[in-house]
Structure 1
Amino acid sequence: MTLGYKTYVRDASKSWIVFFHGFGGNYTIFNRQINDFKENYNLLFIDLPGHGESPNINTIDENVLDFTGQKVIELLDRLNIQKPHFIGVSLGTIVIQHIAMVYPSRIKSMILSGAVGKWLWWGELVGKVALSFPIRQMLPYMVPYVSFAYILMPKKNHKKSRNMFIREALKLGQDSYLRWLYILRDANSIYKSLRAQTNHIPKLYISGDEDHMFLRGITRHVKEEHGAKLEILKKCGHVCNIEQSALFNKLSLQFIQQLDPA
């Protein structure tokens, strides 16, 4: 399997930034980042397995995070990208930390936007219901997915992000939906083990003050990490790179430029 991807190459001498989207999305969610980031960096946008232009994962037996990490490294090797910066949104933040844990020499820094950690109790309950056998058998996957989208992004100013993820998730398929949903369900336990082993890599968290499901847990996580920084954007929900794209771009580029001047 080869992952779907798109590149913007500025100059062979420039550093690379790799982008991972969230659950149900694809690399087009980063359209508002392209112009600002491509001025001084080479860009690689990757579709996670089962998303966008990447193949479905219904025939994969191994752990989906292990499989994804392996395929990402294969793609980096093929493109001769040695040690890029990584930017991820939501589910993409878990993928990045997994890569940092298994392949620590291949990551220069990480920006974790709308990071997924501990769910609020009622969010965990909704997840358990969505994964229960009767619901899986009775309802098309888009019914609980749309419900999740409204739970995570309920406000009027979240509408653009919410609609984009609902539209793109129509291409996801039942098998990929369930495989990735299990990862999200176990996000807190996964996150703890990943965080404990990736503390040496520079991290910037960017979350919205209206990211009600995850902000409290992420704030707690960041306090326990050495050197990690958290930026909280006002009047912003879960998908910061869309809702507050200009500020997201500014903070992200400042962070990267401090480590790797253009």
Structure 2
Amino acid sequence: MTLKKYNFNYCLNRNDNKPIIIFLHGFIGNIHEFDEAIKLLSEDFSYLTLDLPGHGKTEVLGDYEYYKMESVAQGIINLLDKLKIDKCHLIGYSMGGRLALYLTLYFPEHFIKVALESASPGLAIEVERLERVRRDAQIARKLSRSIIQTDFAAFLSNWYNQPIFGYIKNHPEYDRMVESRLQNNPQELDKSLRFMGTGCQPSLWEKLECNTIPMLLLVGEYDQKFISINTEMAKICEFTQIKIISNAGHNIHFENTLAFVENIKKFLSVAS
């Protein structure tokens, strides 16, 4: 569907007027990020999945401005309007979680409940933002040089060596996940990281106290960095609860799908 500067690749599955969940994948993910979790949720919910700009088959028809969080968020709101989705639940993972938090704080009228998996409000301190921009630019350059698939595969192997991912490489489905990641275009991922990375996005820390939407923060027990971040978020952000999921690092819905689904079902089924 073409909406101004985006040609979104999406899938909307309506299930007997069941409430809709929109799923936002993480960096290097795609429309299939939550497939296993959706299989376990599909009896009780409808769902909308999509490739975020820079990922999968979604096309950005404008300049670099349209890879930025503010523009992507508005594009998603426009998509919801076109699909006549007035209100829905929202789930976002990592980069998709940062985007989901932005949507929650700036467009709260569209969302019933929100679950953020391994997400953050960005960086509050200017020096930290500049350093993160510098680091992300280095990573983006490596992506842009991944001309052949073996280069991209080597990049992904290094990416998942990061401590936040815990023991993800030991997962029996790790190779399948990497194969899905390899369907992305590294040159497009380069743009996404440069313009919607943690250092580039607007800091949402000061706006957290304005939250009015019930929110669930999910973090993996091996992801100490995001346990710390989300603990601080929960202190500031009203209507928010935090759950630490066992046997998982940063990518909870992949490493411990059952626990992820159980927590999502419980959270979404409880009356506000």
- The answer to whether the 8 A contact 1:130-1:144 is kept is no
Alignment of 1:113-132 (within 5 A): 113-117=117-121, 128-132=134-138
Per-residue deviation, 1:22: 0.3
- RMSD of aligned alpha carbons: 3.3
Q: After TM superposition, list the pairs within 5 Å mapping 1:87-102 onto structure 2.
A: 87-102=91-106
**Secondary structure, aligned partner of 1:28:** coil
State which drifts further: 145-154 or 24-33: 145-154
In structure 2, the partner of 1:4 is 9
Residue 144 of structure 1 deviates from its aligned partner by 5.5
Q: 2:259 aligns with which of 247, 253, 257?
A: 247
- Structure 1 residue 195 displacement after superposition: 2.4
Distance 1:165 1:203, change over 3 A: farther
User: Contact (CA 8 Å) 2:140, 2:194: kept in 1 or not?
Assistant: no
Larger fraction in helix = 1
Query: C-alpha separation between the residues in 2 aligned to 1:100 and 1:117?
Result: 11
Distance 2:196 2:65 in 1: 15
Q: State the shift of 1:61 in Å.
A: 2.7
Separation in 2, partners of 1:133, 1:244? 28
Change (3 A) 1:43 1:219: same
Counterparts of 1:228 and 1:212 in 2: how far apart (Å)? 19
Where does structure 2 lack aligned partners over 5 or more consecutive residues?
A: 1-5
Alignment of structure 1 residues 4-83 onto 2, 5 Å:
4-12=9-17, 14-56=18-60, 59-62=63-66, 64-83=68-87
CA deviation profile, 1:196-243 (whole Å, cap 9, x unmatched): 44x211100111011133221222221222221011011211111111
SS in 2 for 1:29: coil
1:148 aligns with 2:159: yes
- 1:233 paired with 2:238, answer no
Match of 2:227 among 204, 212, 215: 215
Would you say how many aligned residue pairs link Structure 1 and Structure 2?
256
CA contact (8 A) 1:21 1:48 kept: yes
- Worse-matched range after superposition: 250-259 or 161-170: 161-170
SS in structure 1 at match of 2:197 = helix
Counterpart Cα distance in 2 of 1:80 and 1:133: 38
Note if contact 2:101-2:121 (Cα within 8 Å) is conserved in structure 1: no
Per the alignment, in what secondary structure is the counterpart of residue 71 of structure 1? helix
Alignment match, 2:204: 191
Aligned-pair identity (%): 22
Partner amino acid, structure 2, of 1:6: C
Q: Distance in 2 between matches of 1:110 and 1:7?
A: 18
SS at match of 2:134: helix
Find the residue that maps to 2:192 and give its secondary structure: helix
Instruction: Tell me the TM-score normalized by structure 2.
Output: 0.80
State the shift of 1:115 in Å.
1.4
The secondary structure found in structure 2 opposite 1:253 is helix
Cα pair 1:97 1:194 within 8 Å, conserved:
no
CA distance in structure 2 between the partners assigned to 1:134 and 1:87 by the alignment: 26
Closer, same or farther: CA 259–130 of 1 in aligned 2, 3 Å: same
The 3-state SS of whatever aligns with 1:36 is helix
Equivalent-residue separation in structure 2 for 1:163 and 1:194 (angstroms): 38
Partner of 1:112: 116
Q: Which runs of 5+ in 1 are unaligned?
A: none
**Relative to structure 1, is the Cα distance of residues 188 and 71 closer, same or farther in structure 2, using a 3 angstrom cutoff?**
closer
Alpha-carbon distance between aligned partners in 1 of 2:23 and 2:101, rounded to the nearest angstrom: 13
- What is aligned with 2:3? none
